Structure 1
């Protein structure tokens, strides 16, 4: 034993959200001794506040690395969900509903037609829905839409439960999961990370991964490295009591309506730079009601059963930060996934773990390297 009673691990992960726990599970199932250090509850921050959409990229300018990580995640979720239920008993609320992106004007129509062609070229299972078919598919939609694109392989999941299931499955395989344990910083010696500093000692580790979401930046500052994650507030509400809830995820007007397996529907989400403020505000609720009016006015008679806000980890260029931290041989970062954490989590975990075990970042991750921000320090 060392470090005030903490036994050394192969990999210590700072952050118990969907990214950190996906990495922990991937390492644990490969037989490696791993620890997750989480300042609050597992899945308690951005992951717990997420709408849980898992879908192909909805912008044809999406960088190739994010397309690849998304494709890996989409193909992994069916078997992963089944494996987690077998191992832990957790029902993570996963279902492939499909995602219907609707065109309310000519610009939307042209954009979605181009998006469909791009997705089909990449092998995603998507199709066009003509205006006459739309309201048969989703009766709550408004009249006058010009069509829509249906991504058949899209779905949703309860991200808090998924995150906790990943942590539980990792723990069953020997992982140490430390909840309500703030990481004070990374212990270092020269160009090596030696562990994670905690209030009661140091957790020794051969490698360290920073996956602390919007809080990742402060660890970089202490190390003299730019890891510029910033909190981007998102407010949401849930509707219940619907006689005819949507049968698909409905997207448009800058947001989404997301059916969940408990019968409720998530309305997501605002996008606000408000620091670490997680208050639900009248202005935020007004924007969400406006989203329902634009996408599915037939749902306006539902009951608002919950409201909440979460902090997504944004970055200056809106791309994740994944790779080796400059100046260190064994300190990695996986953060800044913004609105696509659950969509990219499994792919990120697969590629980062392979990189970590080989000792060098996969070339696929080069565009996401934290080195692109090095001049900022």
Structure 2
């Protein structure tokens, strides 16, 4: 049995990695340079599907399908054990006026997913607040969204209840401890932490942390801004997406509208230009929002990676160092499958899916 695992990064990927390892590892330590789950895990929308799933590689599709099927039971398990409901909210999703609708339908037929073209009148009947002028719609039933801040709270509570898990917030990693070629722990501002295995789940910061080891991981921060409205609980019965922008209903009437895609380094400052753009998109999708004032506006940093395919597995030539990072726009979507696959690999179990597409070795620069 592995005695101690240190996980660097306390977002949903790091927390769920710890959750999946805890039963089979003597001690798990999760370190985060800030508060747990306050970066992209908090900032995202939480749609349990890639925005345009047919545009991704089979590697992303495989993780997404497994996660989508697993999310309801994960939500129920966390709620039952912690009393904090992650609110896995199944609403379905309408895509409107897609340029690549034929490709989307072909993908759905090939993958056996419940996505189909519908008469646009059906979309307007299902979502009466939808803006005018849309001509075509496709719909996928069963698509849910998860209330990501509550998912973070629920995972944190579940881990705090486990006697062999330690959560260390505001614990910045300054380097890795080495014995020859083996990584045997981490150096922190509070001193070293020894470990049999070290797992990097630090999102957009993962590449920076690896660079002192002579490793170039092509993961970079990609800024995304969102706005939030508060409406009646029944205002928006389904998620809708058009022209790259989406609206997501929460159960209590909050409506998330997002998001921008900006290469601005580590700057997380919300901008007036993005606010204006997002409000315009919100009103085009849902004209009644013209009378509503946003109750929130924020930015987060996605861990951008080539083709959005995460890195999951051990780093060759650096025994004891593992990656579970680089999920780009789909960290919340892919988290259950990514973290289960990761645990399978570290613990030597049969993997849930073929791990080859995510192996760090061939893809590290």
What is the TM-score with the length of structure 1 in the denominator? 0.90
CA-to-aligned-CA distance 1:72-106 (integer Å, 9 cap, x gap): 11111111111101111112122111111111xxx
Q: How does 1:175-254 map to 2 (within 5 A)?
A: 175-242=165-232, 245-254=235-244
Contact 2:50–2:330 under 8 Å retained in 1: no
Gaps of 5+ in 1: 1-7
Q: Does 1:68 align with 2:62?
A: yes
Q: What are the residue-to-residue correspondences of 1:288-367 with 2, within 5 Å?
A: 288-358=278-348, 364-367=354-357
- In the other structure, the counterpart of 2:156 is 167
What is the CA–CA distance in structure 2 between the aligned matches of 1:222 and 1:45, rounded to whole Å? 23
Match of 1:4 in 2: none
Question: Where does the alignment leave 5 or more consecutive residues of structure 2 unmatched?
Answer: none
C-alpha contact (below 8 Å) 1:320/1:337 kept by paired residues: yes
Tell me if the contact between 1:56 and 1:151 (Cα under 8 Å) persists in the aligned partners. Answer: no
2:9 corresponds to which of 15, 37, 58: 15
Mapped to 1, the partners of 2:147 and 2:26 lie a distance apart of: 27
Q: Distance in 2 between matches of 1:291 and 1:191?
A: 51
CA distance in 2, matches of 1:354, 1:76: 16
Tell me the alpha carbon deviations over residues 215-267 of structure 1, each in whole angstroms, 9 at most, x when there is no partner.
11111101111122211111110011358521111112112101112211000
Q: Which residue is equivalent to 2:75?
A: 81
What secondary structure sits across from 1:184 in the alignment? strand
Q: Give RMSD over aligned pairs.
A: 2.1
Deviation at 1:69, TM superposition (A): 0.8
**Residues 363 and 152 from structure 1, CA distance in 2 versus in 1: closer, same or farther, beyond 3 angstroms?**
closer
- Aligned 8 A contact 1:13 1:210 in 2: yes
Correspondence for 2:126: 137
**2 CA distance for matches of 1:254 and 1:317?**
17
- In the alignment, is residue 118 of structure 1 matched against residue 107 of structure 2? yes
Looking at structure 2, the residues matched to 219 and 115 of structure 1 have their Cα atoms a distance apart, in angstroms, of 38
| Partner residue in 2 for 1:5 | none
Q: Which moved more, 1:290-299 or 1:193-202?
A: 290-299
**What do residues 135-172 of structure 1 show as CA deviations (whole Å, max 9, x unaligned)?**
11111222332221211121111212212322321232
Aligned equivalents of 2:83 and 2:40: distance in 1?
Answer: 23
Change (3 A) 1:294 1:241: closer
When the two structures are superposed, what TM-score results if normalisation uses the length of structure 2?
0.93
Superposed displacement of residue 48, structure 1: 0.8
8 Å contact from structure 2 (residues 56, 307) kept in 1: no
SS in 2 for 1:348: helix
Q: Using the alignment, how far apart are the partners of 2:75 and 2:234 within structure 1? A: 27
> What is the aligned counterpart of 2:93 among 99, 106, 119?
99
The alpha-carbon distance between structure 1 residues 326 and 280, as it changes in their structure 2 partners (threshold 3 A), is same
Alpha-carbon shift at residue 360 of structure 1 (Å) = 10
Residue 333 (structure 1) shift: 0.8
* Aligned counterparts of 1:219 and 1:34: Cα–Cα separation in 2: 20
Instruction: Report the 3-state secondary structure (helix = DSSP H, G, I; strand = E; otherwise coil) of the residue aligned with 2:295.
Output: strand
Distance 1:329 1:57 in 2: 36
CA distance in 2, matches of 1:203, 1:117: 50
| Alpha-carbon displacement from aligned partner over 1:112-132 (angstroms, at most 9, x marks no partner) | 243133224323222322122
User: Are the counterparts in 1 of residues 238 and 249 from structure 2 also a CA contact under 8 Å?
Assistant: yes
Given that residues 102 and 145 in structure 1 are in contact (C-alpha distance below 8 angstroms), is that contact kept between their aligned partners in structure 2? yes
| Matches of 2:235 and 2:109, distance apart in 1 | 28
- The residue aligned with 1:158 is 147
Cα displacement string for residues 178-226 of structure 1 (whole angstroms, at most 9, x for unaligned residues) = 1111111221212221112122322111111100011111111011111
Q: Secondary structure at the match of 1:48?
A: helix
Counterparts of 2:290 and 2:360 in 1: how far apart (Å)? 44
Confirm whether residue 37 of structure 1 aligns to residue 31 of structure 2: yes
